[in-house]
Amino acid sequence: MIPDNIFRSLAIQTESKLILIVMDGIGGLPVRGKTELEAAKTPNLDRLAYQSICGLIDPISYGITPGSGPSHLALFGYDPFRFEIGRGVMEALGIGLKLTEEDLTARGNFATIDENEIIVDRRAGRISTEKNQEICQFLQNEIREVDGIRVSIYPGKEHRFVIVFQGEGLKDNLIDADPQKDGKKAKGTESLTAEAQRTAEIVNAYLKKATEALKLFHPANTILLRGFSKIPNIPSMFERFKLKPAAIATYPMYRGLARLVGMDVLETGETLRDEVETLKNNFNRYDFFYIHFKKTDSAGEDGDFKKKVKAIEEIDRILPSILKLKPDVLVVTGDHSTPAVLKSHSWHPNPILLHSKYIRPDRIRRFTERQCQKGQLGRFPAVEIIPLMLANGLKLKKFGA
């Protein structure tokens, strides 16, 4: 990983255009001998791989299964161990909230306590989403602020919600206000540092008020909060890499992650075609594009091998319309593997191809995990992709005299 100050001194702005295509959860595992990529018919990706340099990337590090947050930060060129994104923030981004440095976020549950404040059900009998919305609305009207700190509550599914405390001086060094187990007392939060003391008091004052207000809503008669977090202080892609970046993604979480590193998030439609159309329409306005395709991951999470194969083929079919734009540097890869056999994210490395004018192509026949492994890029951490893209776009000066 190149240190921040070196990046800042080497990066230059040029006219060249870079595109990073992320097929979410692309890496797979074999079923009857073939991975999803190997089973898919991908003539366009294969042709491109033939003209590119290829390899395998580890999303974070050997053996680490990443969530979407850290794996995307790495793809954007940020060390995911240095810039951690808390659970509250991820959840808030997932529902499309635009967070500022003043916001303290947390994930929440409605829960049931008895008369001695012992938690008897951490999920409040899994109340319906409609009921959740109704209670959140009620709480929002009932408690708008605590000690000058604004409080906003956003319903999620069933008993879950996201809460945002907004005001000056809030800190996130707090322990979960959630004992994680039934049969324990709901005790509120505690500060882990002296400077977070006031924040802990505000959160606990809110919890007390909320529990009082919720008396009528049994079984949802209290709330539990966890994953207190603020957005990390991240230098923008412009500050660091002198890039003018834009993001094209349909899901709120990826749009939010892109915003965290200073990308302009473009409005786009639901389909792959819509996303490519958005790319075309904005191609003159930026010099870096992150384009995200979600379907591969969703199919993997469903454990649906065939559906993932189809999603890959669908991406393959729209690839020519991206190539027509003639980007100076094009990278196709994934943020992590989501093998259908595991029905979840995994630690396996992902194939990557990089195409530009200034390469010695590997002449690899297929864009698959096992073929890309033979390429000259070898196996490397995802966080090194951006420097490679910048270099191929002639956007990095010489290091040293």
Per CB under 5 A, residues contacting Zn ion are 24, 68, 297, 335
**How near is the Cβ of 336 to Zn ion at its closest, in Å?**
6
| In the block, residue with structure tokens 């959840």 | 91
Task: Give 373-386 as a DSSP string.
Answer: TTSTTEEEEGGGHH
**How near is the Cβ of 89 to Zn ion at its closest, in Å?**
16
Residue pair 152/100 in contact by the 8 Å Cβ criterion = no
Smallest CA-to-CA distance from 167 within 189, 144, 188 is with 144
**How near is the Cβ of 222 to Zn ion at its closest, in Å?**
33
**How near is the Cβ of 345 to Zn ion at its closest, in Å?**
7
DSSP letter at 359 equals -
**How near is the Cβ of 71 to Zn ion at its closest, in Å?**
6
Q: CA torsion angle for 378, 382, 387, 388 (degrees, to 10)?
A: 40
Q: Which is nearer to Zn ion, 68 or 229 (CB)?
A: 68
Name residues whose C-beta falls within 8 Å of residue 319's C-beta, 6 or more positions apart in sequence: 44, 45, 48
**How near is the Cβ of 297 to Zn ion at its closest, in Å?**
5
Q: CA torsion angle for 332, 233, 60, 41 (degrees, to 10)?
A: -20
Q: Which is nearer to Zn ion, 238 or 251 (CB)?
A: 251
CA distance 64 to 189: 30
CA distance 166 to 147: 11
Name residues whose C-beta falls within 8 Å of residue 110's C-beta, 6 or more positions apart in sequence: 123, 124, 127, 132, 135, 159, 161, 214, 217, 220, 222, 223
CA distance 99 to 93: 8
Q: Which is nearer to Zn ion, 242 or 255 (CB)?
A: 255
Q: Which is nearer to Zn ion, 68 or 350 (CB)?
A: 68
**How near is the Cβ of 24 to Zn ion at its closest, in Å?**
4
Q: Which is nearer to Zn ion, 69 or 375 (CB)?
A: 69
Strands 222-229 and 103-113: antiparallel
Q: Which is nearer to Zn ion, 24 or 36 (CB)?
A: 24
**How near is the Cβ of 321 to Zn ion at its closest, in Å?**
23
Q: Which is nearer to Zn ion, 103 or 297 (CB)?
A: 297
Smallest CA-to-CA distance from 187 within 121, 116, 91, 126 is with 116
Residue pair 372/364 in contact by the 8 Å Cβ criterion = yes
Q: Which is nearer to Zn ion, 68 or 221 (CB)?
A: 68
